[in-house]
Amino acid sequence: MRRNFEDVLPDVEPPQPGDFVQLDILEAYGLTQDELAQRLDVSRKTISELVNKHRALSMDMALRLARYTETSVELWINLQTMYDLWVAKHSKNAAKIEKLRTASSYGETIIASGSG
């Protein structure tokens, strides 16, 4: 059975990448936002917005954090994706989305393309 990202969503709001930046980088290594910004070659405002949940993690920032922390870029992207999906599943539009009819209910078959 194939699992979707939705299958592993937690019941409570998952942490944003900025939470990991705050706890696992800034606090763990005693760095200021300015020091981390210099190390990542970004503005302090960029770090502040990420840590304070005013900015989503960009692909560029995922690359920078992966390089700095010697982790995978997929780790950082997946953290953001899990958070974004959780927010969408708990938004006011979620109930309306659940009521949308599927393609098969219209007698249509969807074949995924681009896989080969």
**Residue boundaries of the structural domains of the chain:** 12-93
- pLDDT surpassing 90 at residue 49: yes
pTM check: above 0.85: no
Residue 28: half-sphere exposure toward Cβ, Cα within 13 Å: 8
- pLDDT surpassing 80 at residue 114: no
**pLDDT tens digits for range 54-105:** 999 999 999 999 999 999 999 999 999 999 999 999 999 988 988 898 888 8
Give the model's pLDDT for residue 73.
Answer: 98
- Residue among 44, 40, 20 nearest 32 (CA): 44
Output the CATH code of domain 12-93.
1.10.260.40
